[in-house]
Amino acid sequence: MRDVYVGGIGITTFTRLEYPLSEIAAYPAMMALKDAGIRDVDHLYVANMGSARVNHQTALASAVVDSLSLTPAGAAVIENGPASGASALKAGFAAVASGLHDVVLVSGAERMREVNNLEATDFVATLTHPLAEYIYGVTLPSHAAMFTRLYMEKYGLTERHLAMVAVKNQNNAMLNEFAHLHQPITIEGILDSPEAMTNNPYVAEPLRFFDACPVSDGGAAVILVSDDVAKTIDRPLIRLAGVGQATDTHAVHEREEPTDLLAVRRAAAQSFEMAGLRPEDVDVAELHDAFTILEIVESEEVGFFPKGEGHVALEKGETAIDGSLPINPSGGLKGKGHPVGATGVAQAHEIVTQLRGEAGDRQVDGPQVGFTCNFGGFGNNVVCLTFVREGR
C-alpha cells in the first residue's frame, strides 16, 4: 500500500443552509481545492445519507462533479448512514493507497433542515431494523436512551455527567466559527436550577434536549493524495495513517452484552494497528457524540480510558481542550452540529486543522496524532481514522 496524505480541507458553517444540496457539497470541495492549490482530481466521493429521501435528489455525485467542472473525473456517492463521511474517506484512502488514483476529493454533505424536526428524526430512524425496531417507533434518541439507562445502572453514570459533556462541547463550539450552536450553557441552567426542566426537557428518558445534537445542514471536504502529489503541496504534511471499520448486529437487542459497543472497539483497534500506534499516543480526538452518552462510552471503547471510567476522566477535566486528552475541541456533533453525511469528513477536517496548528482559540497544544470515530447506525457500522503529523 502507498502512503496517503491530506492535500487540502474545507468546510461550511453547520446551521440551516438555504442552498441546494449540491452546492453544500461543492462549496467545501472548492475550499479544499484552494487549500491544496490544485485544480485537478482523479475521483470524487460524495458522502450523503438522505438526498433521495429528504431532498428529492438522487445521483448527487454526478451533480457535484459537474458543478465543480471536474468532469470527466469519476464520481460516486457513498451512503453508509451516519458513518457515510468516514466511509467515503476510507474509499478514498483505498483508491490512493492502491495506486488506482493519485488525487481523490471526498466531500460530505447533508441538508436535513429542508424538512421539519420530526421528519428529520424519522429519516434517521429508517436506519434501524425495519421489522424489529422501526415499526415500534424506535428512533436514534430512543436507542441512545435505552442504552444510557443500562449504562447508568451498571457504571454509576448520572445525568450530571451527561450534562458535563453538553457544557464542555457547547463551550468548545463557542470557539469554532463553523459550529451550529453558539449558545453557552451551564450545569445550573440545564440541570440544577428550578427552570432546568423547562430549559432542558426529556426527549427520551433519561436523555434530555441538551443531550442530543442539533439537526444541521452542512458540508465538509478532504482531499486525499499520494506521496508524490503531497510533495508538491505547500501545506503541513498530515498522513492518514490508520483506517478501521467494524460492524455489529442490526437489531440492537441482539448484542450479547448490551452495554458494549463492539464495533467501536474493533474499528479503533484496526485503525491503531494499521497506524502502528496505541490509544495512549493520541493527542486529540473527535468522537461521534450524537448523544452525550456516546462521547463517554466511545472514549472507553476506543481505548482512551478503562471501560466504565470515561465519566471519571470527564469529571477530572482530562477531555477538555487544555486537558491531557482533548475530545471534541470542535464542539463535536453536540456543539458543531451533525449533518449526517458530512460528519465523518468534518471530524477529519477538525483533526487536520488541529494537527496543522491552525485551530485558533480552540487549538490543542502541539498535537502530533489525531483520531476520529464516526459511529453509524446505533453502533452497527463504525469507522475510525488515525491521522499523524509528519516532518514539516
Partner 1 sequence: MIRDIYAYRCRKCGRLHYPFRMVCKECRQNDFFDFDLVPLPKTGKLLTFTKVYNLPAEFEVPTLGLGIVELENGLRITGQLEVDDPRIGMAVRGEVKPVRKSAYDTFYGMVFRAG
| Residues of the shown chain interacting with partner 1 in the complex, contacts defined by CB under 8 A | 117-119, 121-122, 125, 129, 131-133, 135-139, 141-142, 145-147, 149-150, 153, 201-207, 249, 251-254, 258
Q: How far is the CB of 259 from partner 1 (least distance, A)?
A: 9
Nearest CB to partner 1, comparing residues 152 and 277: 152
Output the CA angle 32-36-39, nearest 5 degrees.
85
Q: Are 383 and 232 in contact (CB under 8 A)?
A: no
Nearest CB to partner 1, comparing residues 90 and 129: 129
Q: In degrees rounded to 5, what are phi and psi of residue 351? A: -65, -40
Q: How far is the CB of 215 from partner 1 (least distance, A)?
A: 11
Nearest CB to partner 1, comparing residues 105 and 212: 212
Q: In degrees rounded to 5, what are phi and psi of residue 109? A: -150, 145
The grid coordinates of residue 135 equal 415499526
Output the CA angle 137-142-145, nearest 5 degrees.
160
Instruction: Say whether 307 sits in a helix, a strand or coil.
Output: coil
Read off the DSSP letter of residue 215.
P
Q: How far is the CB of 116 from partner 1 (least distance, A)?
A: 8
Q: How far is the CB of 330 from partner 1 (least distance, A)?
A: 25
Q: How far is the CB of 138 from partner 1 (least distance, A)?
A: 6
Nearest CB to partner 1, comparing residues 207 and 238: 207
Please tell me the distance from the alpha carbon of residue 215 to that of residue 50, in angstroms, as a whole number.
13
- Pick the closest to residue 283 from 344, 213, 338, 357 (CA basis): 357
| Amino acid sitting at position 273 | E
Nearest CB to partner 1, comparing residues 55 and 139: 139
CB atoms within 10 A of CB 267: 29
Please tell me the distance from the alpha carbon of residue 57 to that of residue 23, in angstroms, as a whole number.
13
Burial call 66-103: b when 16+ CB within 10 Å, e when fewer: ebbebeebbbebbbbbbbbbbbbbbbbbbbbbeeebbb
Beta bridge partners of 375: 382
Nearest CB to partner 1, comparing residues 184 and 258: 258
With residue 153 as reference, give the H or E element that holds it: helix 140-155
Nearest CB to partner 1, comparing residues 188 and 254: 254
Q: How far is the CB of 115 from partner 1 (least distance, A)?
A: 10
Q: Are 337 and 112 in contact (CB under 8 A)?
A: no
Nearest CB to partner 1, comparing residues 90 and 334: 334
Q: How far is the CB of 125 from partner 1 (least distance, A)?
A: 7
Q: How far is the CB of 208 from partner 1 (least distance, A)?
A: 10
